[in-house]
Structure 1
Amino acid sequence: MTTPGTQVVAAASTAVVTCPSHVGHAPSVEVQCGRAIPAFDTTARVDAILTALAGRPEVTLTAPGSYGLAPIRRVHEAGLVEFLRTAWASAEPPRDGIDLVFADTFFHDRLRQGMGPLTHGGGGALGRYCFDTITGVGPSTWEAAAASVDTALTAAELTLRGAPLAVGLCRPPGHHVGPELFGGGCYLNNAGIAAQWLRDGGVSRVAVLDLDFHHGNGTQALFYDRADVLYASLHGDPERHYPYFTGWPDETGAGEGSGCTVNLPLPPRVGGDDYLDLLDTATGRILDGGFEAVVVSLGFDTYDGDVSGDAALTTADYRRIGRHVAGLGLPTVALLEGGYSVTVLGDNLWSWIEGFRAEQGERP
């Protein structure tokens, strides 16, 4: 499917799909440990990237197309999608004087212990579908999240049309969203939707390589029992880091998907050499499995000093990581996830792209 916003990109340049509607999601705060703190995921993140990429002849900035709800519904349950579409308008109590609504009561499986599954709607829908207090919903959050999906799908389409790499500046990010739960500052799973879209477009086996500092619990849940989509993640150890309840090495998939989930927790203050050793394990699984395309959940919260993690990667390390991913020799869709050191975020992304392009140029 070709959409009006999609451009044919010259082989010599790398497509970077923009996400203009991301500005509609502008959270002022998130709540951690009961404290309202300045939100990590600000509009300044994308602004910094666009500034760093401006004028680079190696990059072609590309507008996203429009793909509608069908690809979203291929991955997410109807109840979650409908809730997100109407969450702000239906929020209770009234929204006077606030720019975000947060869950304050959460559905827990033991809340109804012995009573069977929940079949009623109830007034606490936000706490039914959201699993944390980090993720508020604002008046244009749905529109921004849906546009972020369009950005991911446009990048995926470009790879189907022959681009070796397409980058999507997705915001809000997405890898914490499962079939019917959202959180972690994410609302729709951009990488998961893109992976399924590639499958529906004829790619027989897709790998999702998650390089965000935090475990992509949502992406793992989407594909945990499937053999056609591999999920491999390098992330902060759940003993220390969000989302705490997923991401251990013994989570390897279930049923037909047994062995198709790879979790590689990072040691504290991991540096480039050790990180690349772990990355080699993940990419080795991708190569051994005969996968035909890779979707990268590309987070830069592994940067030394990032407020949300304890890794110690440098801008130069991202160039090495980009080269390593390019070494797979597979069509690659790279989608922005986290990364909150705004002053270096654009340089870090460019370093990753530059490394990928360098390796690509050296391949026969």
Structure 2
Amino acid sequence: METIFTERHALRNSRTELFGGQLVEPFERPSRAEYIIDRVREVALGPVNEPDDFGMAPITAIHDADFIAFLQVAWPDWQAAGFKGEAMPTVWPARRMSHRIPTDVEGRLGYYALSGETAISEGTWEAAYASAQVALTGAERINQGARAVFSLCRPPGHHAAIDMYGGYCFVNNAAVAAQHLLDTGAKRIAILDVDFHHGNGTQDIFDARDDVLFISLHGDPMDAFPHFLGHAEETGTGAGDGYTINYPLPPKTDFATWRAALQKALAQIKDYAPDALIVSLGVDTFETDPISFFKLKSDDFTTYGADIATLNLPTLFVMEGGYDIAEIGVNAVNVLQGFEGAS
């Protein structure tokens, strides 16, 4: 299996995250990608190649153009305002308040942020842009006939909504890849999100569409970030009704319970008969992940990789979360090896 990867991910290297009332070292840090690529090379998964550059058009095909323009200037505007730390939102357009976009950078941060933990720092936009190109290159490989590709994206993307960032995500890599496949000939795409945290951004993007089936297995939003999307009764709106499927699962969910939900999801994907499958691959379902509460073990990732392979679909794996950094490489690559072994 080919891996698409760029060292430009390291341009995203914020020093602060708001967690538990403290400013801490971010859980989403450059070493995550380094552990994964080291494991890819250690097991000789396949060739590792740099992404091509598809430009801005595929990004603005998914995201609001003003939002993307904001991401490009957020850091220099923050610096120009004289702030000394990293750019973090402190105020939001809450219920019953005006939703006009302020001119002040502090106001714009709050307008475009869906959560407060994710700091913007030097290099954030450049890394987010490069991460989208990693996903787009993987999608193009699928177009060229590849059975499976691993887009080792960092920063991740599935929390990035049409016009909001947060949860360490700025550009929705999986959504951008899906749209590229549709724009280049596919009729239907399925996105299977196996990250512990609900892919609220992906759901937001495809909520009213029937050309993308979005299925997510995740921690119940009553108990887990992002809290305000991902309930079972959310099934899409308008033309998209029935094309969003959520499996919220409780604290301490074990692999048997999680896998039962996966089997339902795989059957639904098979019935949808997509031209290709995109897997939002988060491995924060691991039993010792520091910001999650599922109980999967390393061997379980191999098992469910093989389960996904039974669909016999062209499959693009897009890296999302996973924060037990010492084990992230093993767990992510176990999914890919399980898939390859069953193919």
Superposition TM-score tier, normalisation by shorter sequence: over 0.9
Alignment match of 2:71 (pick from 77, 84, 90): 84
Describe the superposition over 1:154-198 as per-residue Cα deviations: whole angstroms up to 9, x where unpaired. Answer: 111111111111001100001001111111111100001011111
For 1:351 and 1:292, the matched residues in 2 are separated by: 25
Alignment match of 2:132 (pick from 127, 130, 149): 149
8 Å CA contact 1:216, 1:233 repeated in 2 = yes
Aligned residue in 2 for 1:261: 244
Quickly say closer, same or farther: Cα 1:316–1:86, change in 2 above 3 A: same
Aligned residue in 2 for 1:8: none
For 2:82 and 2:243, the matched residues in 1 are separated by: 45
8 Å CA contact 2:31, 2:325 repeated in 1 = yes
Aligned residue in 2 for 1:226: 209
Describe the superposition over 1:59-89 as per-residue Cα deviations: whole angstroms up to 9, x where unpaired. Answer: 1111111111000000000110000001001
Quickly say closer, same or farther: Cα 1:344–1:119, change in 2 above 3 A: closer
- Unaligned 5+ segments in structure 1 are 1-13
For 1:326 and 1:172, the matched residues in 2 are separated by: 26
Alignment match of 2:92 (pick from 106, 129, 134): 106
**Is 2:336 aligned against 1:359?**
no
Aligned residue in 1 for 2:38: 51
Q: Which SS does the other structure have where 1:349 is aligned?
A: helix
What's the CA shift for 1:108? 2.1
Aligned residue in 2 for 1:94: 82
Greater mean alpha carbon deviation, residues 75-84 or residues 43-52 = 43-52
Give 1:65's aligned amino acid: D
8 Å CA contact 2:101, 2:111 repeated in 1 = no
Give 2:283's aligned amino acid: F
Give 1:101's aligned amino acid: A
Aligned residue in 1 for 2:100: 118
What's the CA shift for 1:95? 3.6
Aligned residue in 2 for 1:5: none
**Is 2:327 aligned against 1:339?**
no
Describe the superposition over 1:211-269 as per-residue Cα deviations: whole angstroms up to 9, x where unpaired. Answer: 10000110000000000001100000011000111100000001110000000012221
What's the CA shift for 1:32? 2.6
Greater mean alpha carbon deviation, residues 130-139 or residues 73-82 = 130-139
Q: Which SS does the other structure have where 1:186 is aligned?
A: coil
8 Å CA contact 1:32, 1:133 repeated in 2 = no
Q: What pairs up with 1:179-198 in 2 under 5 angstroms? A: 179-198=162-181
Give 2:324's aligned amino acid: S
Describe the superposition over 1:14-39 as per-residue Cα deviations: whole angstroms up to 9, x where unpaired. Answer: 01111210100012221134321221
What's the CA shift for 1:52? 1.3
Quickly say closer, same or farther: Cα 1:29–1:359, change in 2 above 3 A: same
Aligned residue in 1 for 2:275: 292
What's the CA shift for 1:47? 1.0
**Is 2:44 aligned against 1:62?**
no
Alignment match of 1:170 (pick from 144, 153, 158): 153
For 1:48 and 1:15, the matched residues in 2 are separated by: 17
Q: Which SS does the other structure have where 1:345 is aligned?
A: helix
Give 2:269's aligned amino acid: I
Aligned residue in 2 for 1:10: none
**Is 2:254 aligned against 1:235?**
no
For 1:53 and 1:214, the matched residues in 2 are separated by: 24
Greater mean alpha carbon deviation, residues 119-128 or residues 199-208 = 119-128
8 Å CA contact 1:88, 1:137 repeated in 2 = yes
What's the CA shift for 1:120? 5.5
What's the CA shift for 1:122? 4.6
8 Å CA contact 2:102, 2:108 repeated in 1 = no
For 2:38 and 2:246, the matched residues in 1 are separated by: 34
Q: What pairs up with 1:306-345 in 2 under 5 angstroms? A: 306-345=289-328
For 1:316 and 1:34, the matched residues in 2 are separated by: 35
Aligned residue in 1 for 2:183: 200
Root-mean-square deviation (CA, aligned residues, Å) is 1.3
For 2:77 and 2:192, the matched residues in 1 are separated by: 36
For 1:191 and 1:183, the matched residues in 2 are separated by: 15
For 2:66 and 2:322, the matched residues in 1 are separated by: 30
Aligned residue in 1 for 2:285: 302
Q: Which SS does the other structure have where 1:320 is aligned?
A: helix
Give 1:168's aligned amino acid: S
8 Å CA contact 1:149, 1:170 repeated in 2 = yes
